[in-house]
Amino acid sequence: MVYHEDENGYVSPESDEMEETRTEVEQAATFDRAKFLKKLGSTVFASLLVPAVFKDQFSAKANDPADTAPEFPILPEPTEDEDILVRMMRDVQRAMKKPVDQRRWSMVIDLRKCVGCHSCTISCAAENKLPDGVIYRPVMEEEIGTYPHVSKRFIPRPCMQCDEPPCVDACPVNATWMRKDGIVEIDYKQCIGCRYCITACPYGSRVFDSGFSYMDGLPSKGEAYLSPEGAIVYEKAPAYEYGKKMPREDHQSPIGNVRKCHFCLHRIEKGLLPQCTVSCIGRATYFGDANDPESLVSELIGKPNIMVLKEEMGTKPKVYYLV
Amino acid sequence: MAQVRNKREGLFWFLAIACFAIGLIGIYDRLVHGHVNANYGSYIPWGLWVAAYIYMIGLSAGAFVMSSLVYVFKVKAFKKIGKLSLLVALATLVGALVTIWMDLGHMGRAWRLMLKTNFMSVMGWMVWLYSAYFILLIIELWLAMRSDLVRCSQESGLRGKICSFLLFGNKDDSPERQAKSARLLTILGTIGIPLAIAFHGSVGAIFGVVGARPYWHSGLTPIIFLIGAFLSGGALLTFIAANWAPNKGTDEHRSMIVLLGKLLLAMLAFDTLLEYAEITVGLWQSVPEEADALKMVLFGDFWWVFWIVHVGLGIVVPALLLIFKGKSVRAVAVAGALIAVTFLAVRLNIVLPGLSVPEMEGLLHAYSTRGLTFDYFPSVSEWLVFIWSISLAGLIFLLGKTYLPILDDKGNESLS
């Protein structure tokens, strides 16, 4: 880990992990460039000209790991008893090979399997570097019955990614819309922070980033019991939502914006599952492409014990619950 | 050249300047620290500032409609307060817009409301409507003052200079010119009435169309907003007219205030009727979420806001004053002031209960931290910004009345 201290004394991280993410992006870019140049080189004219002009670049790219690196994580051959996470990753990767408008990202949550550990809530916060006051996937708890015949039900509540999203029509500046793959996206650079969409969402899925920090009110640097440097690494770490790097700086987006769950779109597009799905200790969260009849979520959505929250609102959620 | 006429006027100046100065602390906090020190958040996304916004914008729409009685319907009794009501409408509109601007997460992006409008959103419509209203209001006020501007531009001192500047070089005040102003005013005022109704109706519709909040979701919501606007704006104007109308002290003034009092009583009765309908129908328990919000208003932690501030000081006391002391200028003025001031309670009771009932029951205990709570009481910082924007509107009014020919009476004759 490398730290850089800015003028306010804040230590911003340059962790190895981020370094990796950045080079991945850069590699992808150079990979495209290499392909483009090769295409150009195939024309007769260019085949004479280009090697002479770009000689150095070509020889450098020949050994680039991006040329040989797989687009998505390599998965083992399917087996009878494989973890459903592997199967769902395969579903995701298969969907990613289709055009974007043929994908229909959906989530199924099996309430019978959820034990209320809140791992999804926390891993989501860690993945998206959520500050204090912003939570994308709380787990709602309901107590049923009277003592001694009591049971508890846990209902994780991500964004429902509705097919008829009331939040989209509420936005006065077109800062939120439904993507072709069904995910409701927010453009943080466009959002003015009026919070009308929050009132319009029947599920309370949208939250406002007031600019809080988990460090507020803690003993200042040097007096803290726990390493403040460690905490600041988290607080100031950039988020990579929607595949864009978003450093956390005062008065800058996403502070002052409305935020919400996006099914970890930045992970899906790299062939990974949403963080809540992989961190679920009971494998109660399923994710995949509902347009693909072979996918696990399609199988589950077809079950008779499936339901959606507040069906009467007509929002047509793409998050389903098994009860 | 602030001519402090009497002690009471001095008190208003003192209050406005003091509140403005104290409120600056809140403005500083908002601009430097953003939303960190505000108590609204994710589950209660709108708080005091949104309530203050709809409150002041209602005052503006109400005052404007009063002006149209003069310039469109040519009601002779009110011709002395035409300019006054336009100035009140302008001052409260500026206060409202500044408050809602402070409320935005990104103040620097406010222009996108105009240039990147989503016309599927009621809020998108509202922005265009109140921008049109703002422009219309300024032109109307200028036209209404024009004749008096010519006269006052002869004066020496700051007031004369301001009047002279506002004429933009054209000091023509012939009868033809006056007739032209009067005709234009009638046209603009006629456009203004549906505009004011559409624009304040759209503020109400912002709440009315939200299906996710049963407490707001009603066809009656925009109508209640409108009637509330006429009532509160009319009440404020009654108070102001009682204190500052140019013909103060005359019999004409007294009969105007008495007439305003009667109008006020009628609007108060109608508004109370609508409110009664909304509450009783909602309480019939057909939609639990709506009934819960209403119970919160009537019997919740802030029951006194409804019963004491709104019903007691905002309905019963003014109604008694208007019924039994309707011939007294002072009593009508007090009734107007009470209705206008306590109407903030009505606006708070529209915004907050709709948000305070959890949309999903389990959310209440799902994750507890700042912002993710259903309890709300405005923070010090929020109160300070609120005080500042109210005093800003007050100062605009006091300055306008002092440095512009708002109270000059001669021009009124030619316009109505």
Q: Would you say residue B252 lies in a domain?
A: yes
Question: What is the C-alpha separation between A165 and A258, in angstroms, rounded?
Answer: 15
Backbone angles phi, psi at A151, to 5 degrees: -135, 165
Question: What is the C-alpha separation between B92 and B230, in angstroms, rounded?
Answer: 14
Average pLDDT over residues B375-389: 96
Q: Would you say residue B49 lies in a domain?
A: yes
The answer to whether B394 touches B401, Cβ cutoff 8 Å, is no
| Tokens 């169309």 -> residue | B209
Beta-carbon separation of A194 and B123 below 8 A: yes
Give the pLDDT confidence score for residue A66 in this predicted structure.
58
Question: What is the C-alpha separation between B395 and B161, in angstroms, rounded?
Answer: 20
Q: Would you say residue B294 lies in a domain?
A: yes
Per-position DSSP letters for B268-300, written without gaps between them? HHHHHHHHHHHHHHHHTSSSHHHHHHHHHHHHS
Q: Would you say residue B1 lies in a domain?
A: no
Per-residue burial over B67-83, b if 16 or more Cβ lie within 10 Å, else e, is: bbbbbbeebeebbbbbb
| CA A138 from centre of chain | 15
Question: What is the C-alpha separation between B393 and B87, in angstroms, rounded?
Answer: 10
Give the pLDDT confidence score for residue A19 in this predicted structure.
41
Q: Specify the amino acid at residue B310.
A: H
Beta-carbon separation of A212 and B371 below 8 A: yes
CATH number at residue B66: 1.20.1630.10
Candidate from A138, A203, A211 with C-beta closest to B36 = A211
Interface residue B32 vs chain A (CB under 8 A): no
Rounded to a whole number of angstroms, the distance from the CA of B202 to the nearest CA of chain A is: 13
Give the number of other CB atoms < 10 A from CB of residue A105.
23
Give the number of other CB atoms < 10 A from CB of residue B171.
14
Lowest mean pLDDT among A32-36, B299-303, B399-403: A32-36
Give the pLDDT confidence score for residue B157 in this predicted structure.
87
Beta-carbon separation of A121 and B367 below 8 A: yes
Interface contacts A/B by beta carbons within 8 Å: 164
Lowest mean pLDDT among B119-128, B156-165, B282-291: B282-291
The answer to whether A169 touches A292, Cβ cutoff 8 Å, is no
Give the pLDDT confidence score for residue A223 in this predicted structure.
55
Rounded to a whole number of angstroms, the distance from the CA of B365 to the nearest CA of chain A is: 7
Question: What is the C-alpha separation between B302 and B348, in angstroms, rounded?
Answer: 11
Give the pLDDT confidence score for residue B174 in this predicted structure.
86
Give the pLDDT confidence score for residue B297 in this predicted structure.
95
Question: Tell me: the pLDDT tens digits for B103-130?
Answer: 999 999 999 999 999 999 999 999 999 8
Question: What is the C-alpha separation between B160 and B158, in angstroms, rounded?
Answer: 5
> At residue A24, does pLDDT exceed 60?
no
Encoding tokens for residue A138?
């709380």
Q: Would you say residue B2 lies in a domain?
A: no
Rounded to a whole number of angstroms, the distance from the CA of B359 to the nearest CA of chain A is: 6
Query: Strand runs (DSSP E) across chain A, as ranges?
Result: 2-5, 11-14, 105-110, 139-144, 151-156, 176-178, 184-186, 207-208, 258-259, 285-289, 306-307, 319-322
| Tokens 């029509």 -> residue | A169
Sequence-distant (6+) residues with CB within 8 A of B52 are: B96, B99, B344, B347, B386, B389, B390
Q: Specify the amino acid at residue B317.
A: V
Query: Do strands A319-322 and A105-110 pair parallel, antiparallel, or not at all (unpaired)?
Result: parallel
Range of the domain at B116: 7-415
Question: Tell me: the pLDDT tens digits for A253-292?
Answer: 999 999 999 999 999 999 999 999 999 999 999 999 999 9
What residue in B sits closest to A158 (Cα-Cα)?
A: B363
Question: What is the C-alpha separation between B308 and B342, in angstroms, rounded?
Answer: 10
What residues of chain A lie within 8 A of the CB of B359, using their CB?
201-204
Per-position DSSP letters for A225-278, written without gaps between them? SS-HHHHHHHHHPPB-GGG--B---TT-TTTTSEE---TTHHHHTTT---HHHH
Give the pLDDT confidence score for residue A45 in this predicted structure.
42
Rounded to a whole number of angstroms, the distance from the CA of A284 to the nearest CA of chain B is: 18
Q: From residue B236, how far is each of B16, B88, B233, B332 by CA, in Å?
A: 16, 9, 5, 11
Encoding tokens for residue A215?
């460090």
pLDDT mean across residues, chain A = 83
> At residue A301, does pLDDT exceed 70?
yes
Average pLDDT over residues B24-41: 95
Average pLDDT over residues B27-34: 96
Q: Would you say residue B33 lies in a domain?
A: yes
Encoding tokens for residue A89?
């990753």
Beta-carbon separation of B363 and A138 below 8 A: yes
Give the pLDDT confidence score for residue A228 in this predicted structure.
62
| CA B294 from centre of chain | 25
Q: Which residues pair with A246 in a beta bridge?
A: A239
What residues of chain A lie within 8 A of the CB of B99, using their CB?
none
Question: What is the C-alpha separation between A30 and A80, in angstroms, rounded?
Answer: 39
Q: Would you say residue B146 lies in a domain?
A: yes
> At residue A20, does pLDDT exceed 60?
no
Encoding tokens for residue B17?
């300047």
Give the pLDDT confidence score for residue A84 in this predicted structure.
94
Q: Would you say residue B152 lies in a domain?
A: yes
| Tokens 């019991």 -> residue | A225
Peptide bond into A148 cis (omega under 30): yes
Give the pLDDT confidence score for residue B414 in this predicted structure.
65
The answer to whether A95 touches A288, Cβ cutoff 8 Å, is yes
> At residue A140, does pLDDT exceed 80?
yes
Measure CA of the first residue to CA of the last residue in chain A; give whole Å. Answer: 45
Backbone angles phi, psi at A286, to 5 degrees: -115, 145
Interface residue B41 vs chain A (CB under 8 A): yes
What residues of chain B lie within 8 A of the CB of A143, using their CB?
none
Domain count, chain B: 1
Lowest mean pLDDT among A57-71, A100-114, A190-204: A57-71
Give the pLDDT confidence score for residue A65 in this predicted structure.
58
Question: What is the C-alpha separation between B142 and B83, in angstroms, rounded?
Answer: 9
Domain A70-322: which CATH number of 1.10.10.10, 3.30.70.20, 3.40.50.1820, 1.10.490.10? 3.30.70.20
> At residue B320, does pLDDT exceed 50?
yes
Candidate from B42, B211, B369 with C-beta closest to A166 = B211
Candidate from B38, B124, B365 with C-beta closest to A141 = B365
Beta-carbon separation of A140 and B362 below 8 A: yes
Q: From residue A189, how far is each of A72, A215, A254, B157 by CA, in Å?
A: 29, 26, 8, 49
Question: What is the C-alpha separation between B188 and B207, in angstroms, rounded?
Answer: 29
| CA A178 from centre of chain | 15
Q: How is residue B363 annotated by DSSP?
A: G
Lowest mean pLDDT among A195-209, B91-105, B348-362: B348-362
Rounded to a whole number of angstroms, the distance from the CA of A312 to the nearest CA of chain B is: 11
Q: From residue A219, how far is each of A226, A237, A248, A271 by CA, in Å?
A: 10, 21, 21, 42
